[in-house]
Amino acid sequence: MAEFVVKVNGRNRSLEVDPATPLLWVLRDHLKLVGTKYGCGMGQCGTCTVHLGDTAIRSCQFPISAVGDQPVTTIEGLSEEGTHPLQKAWIEHDVAQCGYCQAGQIMSAAALLKRNPNPDDSQIEGAMEGNLCRCGTYLRIKEAIRNANA
């Protein structure tokens, strides 16, 4: 066990956990931020995607000890009122079916738009390739990203 102070969604949070604990479980079990989802536990499905600084990471593969002083942003902190252009586009295009993977999808897309505000279709696919959607909403996801960007 060790003490950590992590900056999550703009707030400093202190906690005492095993340094090997993945950020995913710190968010979900300790900080009760459950918008970030568990899907595979090995960085294969993308449901656990959050931002470390401006970079999308798989929080299930990222130990809390490696976070340091970089700010963490989760789906709950992407915008104050759910009004990030991607969140609005997701609602507008009625993207979700079951909805389980969508927070991770949005976080991957948000990181893409931060580094490349005008991605072409192959750049969108490249950035989103790590996020599985079992319901098959990929076309709407891509359409929402294109239009959030427009």
Partner 1 sequence: MEILNTQSNRRSFIKSVAVSGGGFILGFSWLANAKGATGAESGEQIEINAYLRIGSDGTITIQAPNPEFGQGVKTSLPMIVAEELDVDWESVVVEQALFNMDLYTRQFAGGSQSVRAGWNGLRRAGATARHMLKQAAADQWGVSFDEVATGDGRLLHAKSDRSLGYGEVAAKAAKVAVPENPILKNPEDFKIVSSTKKNVDGKDIVTGKPLFGVDVDHEGMLIASIVKPPAFGMRLKSFDAASAREMPGVVDVIQIKTFEDDYQRRIFDDNAFPDLVVVVGETTWQTFAAKKVLKVEWEAFDDTEITLGTWGGGSRAAVIPGGLESTSDHEEKLAKLDEEAGGVARKDGEPEAAFDAASQVLDRTYSAPYLAHNAMEPQNFFADVRGDKIVVEGPLQAPQFIEQTVSERLGVPIENIEIRMTRMGGGFGRRAYCHYVVEAALISQRMKRPIKLVYTREDDMTFGIYRPAYRMRYRAAIDENKKVTGFHIRAAGIPESPLHANRFPAGAYENYLAESSSIQSNITTGAFRAPRSNFNCAAEQCFLDELAETVGKDPIALRLELLQRAKNTPVGDRNDYDAERYAGVLELVREKSDWGKAKPGVGRGVAAYFCHNSYVAHVVDVVMNQGRPVVERVCSAVDCGIVVNRGAAINMVEGAVVDGIGCALFGEMTIKEGVPQKNNFHQYRMIRSSEAPKRIDVHFVKNEIDPTGLGEPPFPPVFAALANALYQATGKRLYRQPFVDQLET
Residues forming contacts to partner 1 in the complex (CB under 8 A) are 1, 18, 21-22, 25, 28-30, 32-42, 44-45, 47, 74-76, 82, 86-87, 90-91, 94, 96-103, 106, 124-126, 128-129, 131-142
Q: Alpha-carbon Rg of the chain, whole angstroms?
A: 15
The least distance separating partner 1 from the CB of residue 72, rounded to whole angstroms, comes to: 13
Measured between its terminal Cα atoms, the distance across the chain in Å is 47
The least distance separating partner 1 from the CB of residue 128, rounded to whole angstroms, comes to: 4
* Spatial distance between the Cα atoms of 8 and 94, rounded to a whole number of angstroms: 28
Are 73 and 50 within 8 A, CB to CB?
A: yes
Are 16 and 2 within 8 A, CB to CB?
A: yes
Name which of 51 and 142 has its Cβ closer to partner 1: 142
The least distance separating partner 1 from the CB of residue 98, rounded to whole angstroms, comes to: 3
Neighbours of 14 (CB within 10 A): 8
Name which of 51 and 137 has its Cβ closer to partner 1: 137
